[in-house]
Structure 1
Amino acid sequence: MMGTIAKEIIMGMYRHIETAFDGSRDKVVSALVAGLEREFGRGAAEGLARHFLDAEEVDFRWDARSEERWLGAYECPEDAEFELDRVAICGRLDGEWFTAIMLVDGEGNAHGMTGCRAARDRTGARDGMLDAH
């Protein structure tokens, strides 16, 4: 598990998750492709990885986050089984920086995403996370 450092800022609480990325391909996608190569062979891994990324985008973006900032409680319907929080994140997935708003339960599991934007670089992604409301 990656180490975390909690920091308090004026706009709310945010947490730095990880600082190092290994080149053009990020750790989440590298792990996915490696696992698919072991199971299905090198030729099929890249195509299958794209399908997995599309189908499970919420989970992959949550796992690829480098920082997060709690935005507040999500207004769930009254008949909802549990409460969710809105969490702004930034990170890098498949070589591209992004900012997203995630719906997360009390156990730290992502249940949805209400928006996602691409960013030019880490600074742009981080600024997008800090500006989210």
Structure 2
Amino acid sequence: MGMVQHIETAFSARTDKVVSALVAGLEREFGRGAAEGLARHFLNAEEVDFRWDGRSEERWLGIHEDPDGAGFQLDRVAICGCLDGEWFTAIMFADGEGNAHGMTGCRVARDRMEARDGMIHAH
């Protein structure tokens, strides 16, 4: 059975820190009017990284071996979190240094409890 790990710095119950930081940076660079539209573009283009950064908990599922035999291994990790005001559960591939390399599925949840339940029961 996997152990659940809380990610304290990634989530605040009052704000979505990942999206807030993205919008703030875009506002400084491009102005308030362009920031929201650009944020949507970045969120869509870099979904894997933003979901990984938006996780509040994670659970290790096992090793994912490269099917092409290139000799590298990634960890399969179930996560739950909140991104852009929406709770989610996802299965991610991450390296040993904590960097996300892909996502095999993501499901939106009604609330934190449903997202956490999805993470706990992921396989």
Q: Structure 2 unaligned runs (5+)?
A: none
- 2:44 alignment partner, one of 22, 36, 54: 54
Residue 21 (structure 1) aligns with: 12
Q: Answer yes or no: is the 8 Å Cα contact 1:82–1:105 preserved in 2.
A: no
Task: Give, in whole Å, the separation in 2 of the partners of 1:124 and 1:65.
Answer: 14
Q: Answer yes or no: is the 8 Å Cα contact 2:65–2:72 preserved in 1.
A: no
Q: Which moved more, 1:35-44 or 1:80-89?
A: 80-89
Question: Deviations along 1:15-41, whole A, 9 cap, x unmatched?
Answer: 011285243x40000000000000000
Q: Could you tell me which amino acid in structure 1 is paired with residue 114 of structure 2?
A: G
Q: Report sequence identity in percent.
A: 80
Deviation at 1:13, TM superposition (A): 1.8
TM-score with structure 2 length normalisation?
Answer: 0.93
Q: Structure 1 unaligned runs (5+)?
A: 1-10
Task: Give, in whole Å, the separation in 2 of the partners of 1:99 and 1:63.
Answer: 13
TM-score with structure 1 length normalisation?
Answer: 0.87
Residue 89 (structure 1) aligns with: 79
Deviation at 1:77, TM superposition (A): 2.2
Shift of the 59–81 alpha-carbon distance from structure 1 to 2, 3 Å rule, reads: farther
